[in-house]
Amino acid sequence: MPLTWLILFLFALAALGFIAGRVRAVNSAGGDVRELHSLPNYYGWNVALTALVPALAVLVVWLFVQPLMIERSVSGMIPEELIPEGSQRSLVMSDVRRVAHGLDMAVRQGALSEDDASDIRAGFTDLRGRLADVGVALGSDVRPEVLSAAQRYRQLNATGTLWQSIIVAALALGGLTLAYTRTHKGFRARNVVERAILALLILAASIAVLTTLGIVLSMLFETRNFFGLHSWSDFFFGTTWAPNFRGDSELSILPLLWGTLYISFIALAVAVPVGLFAAIYLSEYASAALRSFAKPLLEILAGIPTIVYGMFALLTVGPMLVNFFGRGPDGVLGVDWMSGATSVLTAGVVMGIMLIPFVSSLSDDIINSVPQSLRDGSYGLGATQSETVRQVVLPAALPGIVGAVLLAASRAIGETMIVVMGAGAIAKFSLNPLESMTTITTRIVSQLTGDTDFASPETLVAFALGLTLFVLTLGLNILALYIVRKYREQYE
């Protein structure tokens, strides 16, 4: 609770500072707002922000650092021999935290007095029973070392929280006073506030960048762990994907990569012609009325969740393909090439349908950005519309279209749900599109769902797969953006 109060206090102080700063600024100009360097509200904001921002920043840092410091100091109190064989210090520490938490609860519910909580001895009282009464279940009896560590933990926490409130409140008050005294008609409050806005924008941008960095780093570390347990040459150059839990798994990415690329290739073979032709029709031939109606309709496809596409693959497209290519004499073609609904072709076709709006929407933008003057030039030479599209508009738009296709490819490679449901689970090298095959993404799903042990290569391989996938799509995206950007520069 004190944290909530502290934050409320900070905001109340900021609101007060806003009003006070505004009033002081207006007064310093003798009531004439035109005398001020900035509008009165800027002075208010300046005071409010100077009070609030440093205090909040310190509070956030404190909230992160305090548990770490306390953890470190308390965990030193646990003797080495207390840690059971095969267990880890962090497990004992979680016991400590639970006991401390239980004591807190007990005090709050009146089962223990504050003095009792700090003086209690594990040997004399049935601590486990009393904590169970207040709703904290412990796995075993509390050992004296753990109890004293827990008490120390509580004590440090209390002190820390007290100091935290004092320091943060003092900072807020100090900031308020400083900004308030500086408020004068000549003070450039507007510039200060705009710097604060700039800082906010930078913060937002860096959160995005740092998150990416964090994800990549965590994948990198786990991947390194994986390569500590499994040979990298098998991962990159082996030919079999056969995870088992006997310890001799063959975990090679190549069959998965083959499945991924094969399915993506089929998806692009469907999406690129259809999407591109749709874009050409919509941007060059369709009337404005049709266009305003058809384009949003096409883009609805992009809003369908991929799980729905997955159902579509499994329940509609798959059986339809089986009806064509399977079932022997009962089938449409009378052949028996396809046994189950899940296949490379099923997943590829459905993924292609998913990518159509992606390709068409990007290509449409790119075709529209080809200057009208080029079309006029071509018409002026007596070219027909289709000659103009084929020989002037498309060549001019080609780099951008290639970029769009590469972006679509990177989506196809990373797509999960459709392949989980439509592609099957067999990892193999095969050219037959009617067989089921599996992809990197589906294997990540299956390695990480269910009971997993994060110390085994069978689980950790997911990180190596994820990182490879990431590098692959990142490379494609960079290439695509490079091409698109290069093209954009031509017409500026």
Partner 1 sequence: MKDMSQIANAVETGTNKISARDVNVFYGDSQAIKGVDVEISNNTVTAFIGPSGCGKSTFLRCLNRMNDTIDICRVTGTIRLDGEDIYDKRVDPVQLRAKVGMVFQKPNPFPKSIYDNVAYGPRIHGLARSKSDLDEVVERALRRGAIWNEVKDRLYAPGTGLSGGQQQRLCIARAVATEPEVLLMDEPCSALDPIATAQVEELIDELRENFAVVIVTHSMQQAARVSQNTAFFHLGELVEYGETGQIFTNPQDPRTESYITGRIG
Question: Footprint of partner 1 on this chain (CB under 8 A)?
Answer: 287-288, 371, 373-384, 387, 391-392, 395-396, 490
Give the whole-angstrom CA distance, residue 264 versus residue 115.
67
Asked if 412 and 266 touch (Cβ cutoff 8 Å), the reply is no
Q: State the alpha helices, DSSP H only, in 87-188.
A: 89-109, 114-119, 127-133, 144-182
Which tokens is 309 given?
A: 């596409």
Which tokens is 172 given?
A: 């807020």
Q: Which is nearer to partner 1, 76 or 377 (CB)?
A: 377
From the CB of 373, what's the least distance to partner 1, in Å?
A: 4
Q: Which is nearer to partner 1, 388 or 438 (CB)?
A: 388
Segment holding 414, helix H or strand E: helix 394-414
From the CB of 383, what's the least distance to partner 1, in Å?
A: 5
Q: Which is nearer to partner 1, 68 or 288 (CB)?
A: 288
From the CB of 381, what's the least distance to partner 1, in Å?
A: 4
From the CB of 283, what's the least distance to partner 1, in Å?
A: 14
Sequence-ordered list of residues with C-beta below 8 angstroms from that of 412, at least 6 positions apart, any chain = 263, 264, 267, 268, 271, 351, 355
Q: Which is nearer to partner 1, 147 or 280 (CB)?
A: 280
From the CB of 51, what's the least distance to partner 1, in Å?
A: 57
Sequence-ordered list of residues with C-beta below 8 angstroms from that of 134, at least 6 positions apart, any chain = 102, 105, 106, 109, 111
Give the whole-angstrom CA distance, residue 138 versus residue 124.
17
From the CB of 65, what's the least distance to partner 1, in Å?
A: 58
From the CB of 291, what's the least distance to partner 1, in Å?
A: 12
From the CB of 490, what's the least distance to partner 1, in Å?
A: 7
From the CB of 384, what's the least distance to partner 1, in Å?
A: 5
Q: Is 385 helix (H, G, I), strand (E, B) or coil?
A: helix
Cα 288 versus chain centre, distance: 39
Q: Which is nearer to partner 1, 24 or 375 (CB)?
A: 375
Q: Which is nearer to partner 1, 62 or 379 (CB)?
A: 379
In the chain, what is the greatest distance between 2 CA atoms, to the nearest angstrom? 103
From the CB of 273, what's the least distance to partner 1, in Å?
A: 23
Q: Which is nearer to partner 1, 204 or 288 (CB)?
A: 288
Which tokens is 354 given?
A: 């998913």
> Nearest 5 degrees, angle CA 150-CA 151-CA 152?
90
Give the whole-angstrom CA distance, residue 62 versus residue 168.
9
Asked if 251 and 419 touch (Cβ cutoff 8 Å), the reply is no
Which tokens is 492 given?
A: 């500026």
Four-CA torsion 161, 165, 167, 170, nearest 10 degrees: -170
From the CB of 362, what's the least distance to partner 1, in Å?
A: 19
Q: Which is nearer to partner 1, 257 or 484 (CB)?
A: 484
Q: Which is nearer to partner 1, 89 or 390 (CB)?
A: 390
Which tokens is 128 given?
A: 């486990």
Q: Which is nearer to partner 1, 32 or 492 (CB)?
A: 492
Asked if 264 and 413 touch (Cβ cutoff 8 Å), the reply is yes
Q: Which is nearer to partner 1, 348 or 399 (CB)?
A: 399
DSSP notation for 160-222: HHHHHHHHHHHHHHHHHHHHHHH--TTS-HHHHHHHHHHHHHHHHHHHHHHHHHHHHHHHHHH
Give the whole-angstrom CA distance, residue 422 versus residue 490.
42
